Each structure stands twice: as structure tokens, then as C-alpha cells.
Amino acid sequence: MNSTITAALTTEEELQQLKSSLPNELWFNSYPMYFYQNCWNIILESTISCQNHFKAQDSDIFIASIPKTGTTWLKSLIFSIFNRKNYPISENPLLKHNPHELIPQLESIIYANPQNPDLKTLEKKLNYPRILGTHLPIQSLPTSIKNSNCKIIYICRNPFDTFVSSWLFYLNYDENTNVKDDMIEEYFGKFCEGKFPFGGFEDHVLGYWKESLERSGKVMFMKFEDLKDDPKSELKKLGEFVACPFSSEEEEDGVIDEIVKMCSIEKLKEVEANKSGRVYSFIENKWFFRKGEVGDWVNYLNPCMVERFEKVMSEKFAGYGLEL
Ligand code: A3P
């Protein structure tokens, strides 16, 4: 990375200069990714803009993830935790809005137009506390997120389910004219080399894992599989982490169960806003809800592919006590 032209980058010329100095790849033959700050960044200009301008507040909450690990689900859960006293469950705004509308992504919604970020959305639409999503790896977060007392909840998922979910998601895109489903092995190879949106997968996960060990009050590390296995316990831990714990009366009254049900994939799939419409111009909301299962990768990946990435992971994670 050319470090002399990163943090203070402002002009189009400097951006072009930076881009031409970085390794780059076309994901799905269509979407440029730049290897920036040890990550295959698919939204470089917006990343730099929010790094330069975004000011985190101590009360902010961030939902961080590499794409396809359960971001949409976690957003719906966190939204419901904070708003459970503002609306009866039958009027939960999740029944009318896609979770990404209620909890926007920092770099791809607020800073989607890097020259003219949508700060109004940031200030107006979000109830206190401000809750935002981000796919940036920990080393690329705006400094104020790292240095303030805001909290980060990171969700990760088995890499094979993550890859398959992403693979099927990108096959939906109109622009994707050249990639066919029999090319999965080639694309899995890229995943193993880290060439994956916001990858390498293992670096993204490990960065937040280490931070969660060093600053456990700031970063909470969650697994998609634990949420599937025991959503109630995970919801209680989430509530405590964001200082919005469930009381024993609430638990007895079934408030946690109601939220789990409200945020289930079956329920969210029925919502009209999730069946049609788009929060991002290039993504149909319905693509965010597929199966939501653990282990669906067995239907797509062969043992050689699995073995290859397991080797990558075991080398990377050795000594850190992280198992996926
Ligand atoms: P699958 O493609 O394996 O079904 P993200 O939100 O990070 O883009 O992740 C999308 C994945 O989470 C998809 O996985 C999607 O089906 C799943 N998902 C979305 N909402 C969910 C929910 N409420 N419960 C469980 N899984 C959910």
C-alpha cells in the first residue's frame, strides 16, 4: 500500500493515483476490488471518505461482519432489542422495513456517495443510540470508532457457508453475465487466496477476534451457528453487552421469545418490504433471505475444496483459540 496517499486522500486525481498503485481484481468479472490496508476492498472511495470524515460517538453501536455471515439477522435483533419498549411487537418497524433500511451500512449507505455523504440519514433517521453496520476490517475502521467508547458487535460464520451464501448471492446480479454456476471451484480458489469482497475471510475474522479478546467491553464476537443453536441465550448476552439487558419479568413475559420469532428468517421473508424493493439500488431485498441454515455448504463444495481452506484457516488461527 502506498501509505503517503491514504489517510488524507481527497481529490479524484489522488484517488486514481492510489488505485493505480494498488493490486486489483475484478470480482465476478464485474466489480473492482483493491487490495487496501490488507483487505480486498470493494468500495474503496467510500471507505476512504468515511475514514477521513466519520466521527463516532461514545454511544454508537456498530454491527461488523464480512458479508453473508448473518448481518441482516443481527441488525434485526439489535433493532428489536433497542426498540422493544418503543413499539409493541405487532408494530415492530421490521414488519414494514428491511433491516438494512433501519440500520444502514456506514460505508455503503451513509458514504455511498463519497463526495456527498448522507449525513441527514445519520442524524435524523436513527434513534438514539446510533446503530450502523460495517463490512470494513478492523484495521480500516475510521479512527474515531477505534478510539471512542462506542461498541462493536462482530458476527462471523463458518467459512464454507459464508462462501456458498456469497457465491449464490452474486450469481443473482444482472451485471454478472460471465460467471456461471459451474465456475464455483475457480471462485472458491480465489476465496482461499483471500480474494473475496472484504477478504481474506480469515484475516477479517481474526482481526475482530483478537480485538474482542483484548477489549472485551468494546468488541463482542458472535457466531451465526450459536445464534441458530440457542438464540435466546445469545439475545440475552447481546442485551447485556449493549447495556439494554432483559429483566427477569421480560423474560418471563416471553419478550425474548417474541423477538426471536419476529427476527426469524421465516417471519422476515413474509414481510412485503423484504419480498420486493431495494435498499441498495443494485440488490433486491429478497436476496438477503435465502435458507439461513447451518451446513448447506455440503451441497456445493467437494472434500478437496474444504481441505484446502481448512489448511489456510488452521495455519492462520493457530494459537488464537478460534474455531469455526
Ligand atoms: P444463506 O445464503 O446461507 O441462506 P448477510 O445478512 O450477512 O448478507 O447474510 C446473509 C445470510 O444470512 C443468508 O444465508 C441469509 O439467508 C441468512 N439470513 C438472513 N436473515 C436471516 C435470519 N433472520 N435468520 C437466519 N439466517 C438469516
CA 224 to centroid of ligand 1, rounded, Å: 9
User: Which pLDDT value is given to residue 2?
Assistant: 43
The 3-state DSSP class for residue 120 equals: helix
- List CB contacts of 67: < 8 A, sequence separation 6 or more: 135, 166, 169, 197, 198
Output phi, psi for 153, to 5 deg. -110, 120
Q: Which residue has the cell 453501536?
A: 61
Q: What is the pLDDT of residue 176?
A: 67
Q: How far is residue 177's CA from residue 14's CA, in Å, rounded to a whole number?
A: 32
**What are the angstrom distances between the C-alpha of 187 and each of 58, 184, 301?**
40, 5, 11
| pLDDT tens, position by position, 155-214 | 999 999 999 999 999 988 866 668 888 899 999 999 999 999 999 999 999 999 999 999
What is the distance, to the nearest Å, from the Cα of residue 54 to the centroid of all Cα atoms in its chain?
A: 18
Of all protein residues, the one whose alpha carbon is nearest to atom 2 of ligand 1 is: 165
Residue 34: strand, helix, or coil: strand
Instruction: Give the CA angle between residues 315, 299, 277 to the nearest 5°.
Output: 100
Quote the longest CA-to-CA distance of the chain: 60
Give CA–CA dist 56/188, Å, rounded: 36
Residue with the smallest CA separation from ligand 1 atom 18 is 292
Cis? peptide before 159, omega within 30° of 0: no
Cα(177)–Cα(186) distance, integer angstroms: 16
Q: Of residues 97, 100, 135, 204, which has the active-site annotation?
A: 135
Those residues of the chain that have pLDDT short of 50 are 1-5, 7
C-alpha 150 to ligand 1 mean position (Å): 26
Which pLDDT score, from 0 to 100, does residue 3 have? 41
Ligand 1, atom nearest to 296 Cα: 3
Distance 210 CA to ligand 1 centre (A): 25
Q: Which three cell numbers stand for residue 24?
A: 486489483
Using alpha carbons, select from 295, 275, 294, 297 the residue that is nearest to residue 286.
275
Where do the DSSP E strands lie in the chain? 24-27, 31-35, 40-41, 61-65, 131-134, 151-156, 219-223
Q: Is the separation of the CB atoms in 93 and 273 below 8 Å?
A: no
Query: Which protein residues touch ligand 1 with a CB less than 6 Å away?
Result: 65, 67-73, 161, 165, 263-265, 268, 288-292, 296
Q: How far is the centre of ligand 1, averaged over its atoms, from the C-alpha of 293 (Å)?
A: 8
Atom of ligand 1 nearest to the CA of 65: 7
Residue 283 CA, ligand 1 centroid: distance in Å: 14
| Mutational pocket test of ligand 1: of 156, 265, 269, 299, the residue with most ligand atoms within 8 Å of the beta carbon | 265
Which of 75, 262, 289, 296 to mutate for ligand 1's pocket (most ligand atoms within 8 Å of CB)? Answer: 289
Nearest CA to ligand 1 atom 25: 292
Q: 3 alpha carbon to ligand 1 midpoint, in Å?
A: 36
Instruction: Return the CATH number of the domain spanning residue range 56-317.
Output: 3.40.50.300
Between CA 299 and CA 302, with CA 301 as vertex, the angle to 5 degrees is 110
Cis before 200? omega within 30: yes
> Of the residues 165, 262, 275, which should be mutated to test ligand 1's pocket, given the most ligand atoms within 8 Å of the CB?
165
- 3 state SS of 116: coil
Which atom belonging to ligand 1 lies closest to the Cα atom of 228?
A: 25
Going by C-alpha positions, the residue among 208, 213, 84, 93 that lies closest to residue 145 is 208
- List the beta bridge partners of residue 154: 64, 221
135 is catalytic: yes
Residue-level pLDDT at 125: 53
Among left, alpha and beta (phi > 0; psi -120 to 50; other), residue 181 is alpha
Q: Nearest CA to 139 among 199, 64, 208?
A: 208
pLDDT at 126: 56
Output the pLDDT for position 120: 78
> Do 41 and 102 touch, CB atoms closer than 8 A?
no
Residue 178's pLDDT is 81
